[in-house]
Structure 1
Amino acid sequence: MSFLVAGTLQVAAQLADAQDSLGRKGKYSIQGLRVALILSSPGASAATVAALDGVFQALGFENCKKREVSVQNFHEELILFREQLDAHGSPMGCALVALVAPSRQLRQPQLLIQELSHCKTLRGCPKVFLLLSSGSGDAQEPGDFLTGLGEICGRCPHWSLLQLLTEFFCRIAEESSGDTFCPVLRSSLRGALCLGSVEPQRPEPDPGPSAQYDLCGARAALFLAVTRDRPGTQHDVAALGDLCQALGFKVTLRIDPTAQAFQEELAQFQERLDTHRVPVSCALVALMAHGGPRGQLLGADGQEVQPEVLVQELSCCRVLKGHPKIFLLQACRGGKRDPGVGPTALPWYWRWLRAPPTIPTQADVLQVYVNTQGCVAYRDEKGSDFIQTLVDVVRAKPGGDILDLLTEVNRRVCELDVLGPDCDDPRKACLEIRSSLRRRLCLQA
């Protein structure tokens, strides 16, 4: 799933795959029909609908259905669309749905996401959702946003969807003046999703995006790890610490912080960076703790702290303005166990945080959560699958684009069958990657 917020403009995509949907390791195979649907509420801008057509064509969706209905009827239209696809009979390659409505009226988009996830014909196929809204005070109108996105998609069809969005974020930043609402994508992709095509006789294209973060300055990392009643955490701390040191990060470790100490340690970390004698080019924060169903972390004292508060703390760091800030969160997000879906036991995921239509600017932030909203994050005495796999993947290709590497980490974690403590049946896990990065991030030259 991907999710983008630009002002009150929201772009969301949920993508799920079965193992046989990967044409080759690490890349989705987009074969079959590409279906698209536009649902717009009465009074929606004609320019927005026209711009959507441009994006659809740039992404290879030549035909799409359009319906003008009230927001209250969006769910019924999605049900009808799903039933038509299931009755179609032909193989599907990808589905793209655009929902256009006034600001703040799409309060529970996850229900619409879930509806299309039940489509049997689309099982194993990417499903992309674009949620577009506009109103007074919006940072950018949907039509303008979509026109720019369509131009980039048409110019670089060989780039993956995540690469296209990162490049587009860079353009937004360059064209904006003053405070802006920063785009954020959310992804649980397990392979590169390239909706365009490249002629076979042409050389392999540049992987893009064109801009890359300069990491010539100092690098700092902060680990906050709760080890009480969390066997294996010490192995995660050791493995991640060795990796960070190999990549040039100076690591600060705090064991068993209370909820208040989580915030205090972040504040002190930020103050140390602002007074650092040499420029700082990158910061990494690893948070390892028990967690709750609303995404909160639990300190060693059992009290709660919200990860968003910690992210905002580091976003205020003056020396890190314009530089990447990485957050790794290894924690449960509830008590549910995911058994997966279908005969291959590969799961479908939808995760939406209840957030206001607009959020403060938090540019250049990369957050990685282990597991879905409301689900358990698995770990044993050897450590967690997330941290151990992350270390293996980054060590193998430290110069790779971090979003590509994290997508590979997710693929490996999703393909694991975990034997949970609740029963003998295999369970599944999946990452959620949130990025407002505006350039390529490669941790090693």
Structure 2
Amino acid sequence: MAFLVAGTLQAAAQVADARDSLGRKGKYSVQGLRVALTLSSPGVPAATVAALEAVFQALGFESWERRDALVQLFCRVAEESAGDIRCPVFQSSLRGALCLTSEEPWRPEAEPGPGAQYDMSGARAALLLAVIRDRPGAERDVEALGGLCQALGFETTLRTDPTAQAFWEELAQFQEQLDTYRGPVSCALVALMAHGGPQGQLLGADGQEVQPEALVQELSRCGALRGCPKVFLLQACRGGNRDAGKGPKALPWYRRWLWVPQPALPSHADVLQVHADAQGSSCSGPAPGSSGQADVLTVYAAAEGCVAYRDEMGSDFIQTLVDVLRVDPGRDLLELLTEVNRRVCELDVLGPDCDEPRKACLEIRSSLRRRLRLRV
């Protein structure tokens, strides 16, 4: 009987630890089985596949298999406009730090050297373009984000209710402003806040559409920002899907009575993709949302095809972002955005057309080559 009680308490402790590990430690638990699946097209060199499989084995993936498949490899590649520098593009909806090694993952990292971080000693500029009309709470987002940018030392330009054409005009003026700076430019931040179309378009105050990815690519060509981080924040719907989320996986009968019901998680959460160039692969053109240059960070308020939530108090994304960055603006921005996503994923939203709670999560796309700290 004593063994049964001890085993029950151990099971309860394990369940509790797994349940709150993200909230308490900000990191994923990787104690369970890890599985890797490699899908490769015939054009990919065997050495490339073998090297990838060796990495999986070294990281402790116990079960993996290789399948030859006629699939089009992802080929979103960030390239410097001058030179032949290539880097992968990360796409993440993770809610915490992920360590794949079998070593103790919670130990603190050593402080990175100056060469591992972007130099933020130069000028910093921010452009906020927000459609306020018929978007309750948008004023609060503008106020909160504008205050944060100024606190972080960004010279901030704000334009409200831009038409679709004005999005382009304001971006062109912003680039001209950057090119006239006498000293070096360290960072540019652009926030685009508007209604979104069914395919992720931004809708100007005139109801006309503009592609946000085209704006991202246009600023990426700015000569003054060559080699500098360019941050884009997109607060807009990317479709009409309202995610009901998914609940935790079923537990064995002897653990169910120990389990405290947990809220659902967004269906698109906990995904990390790395899009890299592969020799022999081809693509007809840049994938939607990809940049033509390195050093770009784009954060979407919602997953592709989904609604971005906002009410009279502001949007979930912008308000949470401001709260997190004000507390510790000196941390690496990608780490802070992961924390923002964790908090957004925990929110339950009651939409205007449904009494059931709905979920949302961010999509973070990065081709940054160094750590980015907005306050040194």
Correspondence for 2:365:
434
Displacement of 1:399: 0.3
In structure 2, relative to structure 1, the CA distance for the partners of 1:308 and 1:203 (3 Å cut) is closer
Correspondence for 2:59:
59
Match of 1:254 among 159, 166, 172: 159
Q: 1: distance between equivalents of 2:74 and 2:50?
A: 13
Instruction: Report the residue type matching 2:172 in the other structure.
Output: A
Q: Counterparts of 1:293-372 in structure 2 under 5 Å?
A: 293-342=198-247, 344-349=263-268, 356=285, 361-372=292-303
Displacement of 1:66: 2.6
Q: TM-score if structure 2 supplies the norm length?
A: 0.80
Kept in 2: contact 1:23–1:29 (CA 8 A): no
- What is the CA deviation profile of residues 164-208 of structure 1, one whole-angstrom value per residue up to 9, with x for unaligned ones? xxxxx9xx98xx9824554211100000011114459x9633265
In structure 2, relative to structure 1, the CA distance for the partners of 1:267 and 1:23 (3 Å cut) is closer
Matched, 1:419 2:347: no
Matched, 1:388 2:323: no
Displacement of 1:421: 0.6
In structure 2, relative to structure 1, the CA distance for the partners of 1:393 and 1:339 (3 Å cut) is same
- What is the CA deviation profile of residues 359-390 of structure 1, one whole-angstrom value per residue up to 9, with x for unaligned ones? 66321111110011121111111101111100
Correspondence for 2:37:
37
Kept in 2: contact 1:378–1:385 (CA 8 A): yes
In structure 2, relative to structure 1, the CA distance for the partners of 1:286 and 1:43 (3 Å cut) is closer
Displacement of 1:346: 1.3
Displacement of 1:303: 0.3
In structure 2, relative to structure 1, the CA distance for the partners of 1:329 and 1:19 (3 Å cut) is farther
- What is the CA deviation profile of residues 289-329 of structure 1, one whole-angstrom value per residue up to 9, with x for unaligned ones? 00012221000000000111111221121111111111001
Instruction: Report the residue type matching 2:147 in the other structure.
Output: D
Question: RCO higher in 1 or 2 (8 Å CA, sep ≥ 6)?
Answer: 2
Deviation larger for 24-33 or 361-370: 24-33
- What is the CA deviation profile of residues 193-250 of structure 1, one whole-angstrom value per residue up to 9, with x for unaligned ones? 11114459x9633265860000001111110000011011111111111111111001
Displacement of 1:54: 2.2
Measured on the aligned residues, the alpha-carbon RMSD in Å equals 2.9
Kept in 2: contact 1:179–1:361 (CA 8 A): no
In structure 2, relative to structure 1, the CA distance for the partners of 1:410 and 1:342 (3 Å cut) is same
Kept in 1: contact 2:220–2:291 (CA 8 A): no
Q: 2: distance between equivalents of 1:61 and 1:279?
A: 45
Q: 1: distance between equivalents of 2:86 and 2:213?
A: 16
User: What percent identity do the matched residue pairs reach?
Assistant: 71
Q: 1: distance between equivalents of 2:168 and 2:19?
A: 41
Displacement of 1:334: 1.4
Displacement of 1:63: 4.5
SS at match of 2:368: coil
Instruction: Report the residue type matching 2:363 in the other structure.
Output: E
Instruction: Report the residue type matching 1:346 in the other structure.
Output: L
Give structure 1 stretches of 5+ with no counterpart. Answer: 1-17, 72-104, 107-130, 140-168
Q: 1: distance between equivalents of 2:213 and 2:183?
A: 28
Instruction: Report the residue type matching 2:311 in the other structure.
Output: D
Q: 1: distance between equivalents of 2:23 and 2:327?
A: 22
Correspondence for 1:22:
22
Displacement of 1:59: 2.4
Matched, 1:243 2:148: yes
In structure 2, relative to structure 1, the CA distance for the partners of 1:317 and 1:60 (3 Å cut) is same
Q: 1: distance between equivalents of 2:213 and 2:199?
A: 12
Q: 2: distance between equivalents of 1:339 and 1:355?
A: 35
Greater radius of gyration (CA): 2
Q: TM-score if structure 1 supplies the norm length?
A: 0.68
